[in-house]
Amino acid sequence: MTNQQWSDQILVVEMGDDPQFTDKLNNLTLRLERNPSLDVVLDMREVNQIYSSNISQLLRVRAAVIANKRRLFLAATRTQVWGVLQEISLDKKFDVADDVASALTSLEMNLK
Question: What pTM was estimated for this model as a whole?
Answer: 0.91
Q: What are the sequence ranges of the domains in the chain?
A: 3-111
Q: Give phi and psi for 101, each to the nearest 5.
A: -60, -40
3-111, CATH topology level = Transcription Regulator spoIIAA (3.30.750)
Contacts (Cβ under 8 Å, ≥6 apart) of 109: none
Q: Per-block average pLDDT, block size 10, for the chain (112 residues)?
A: 71 95 95 93 96 95 95 96 94 94 91 60
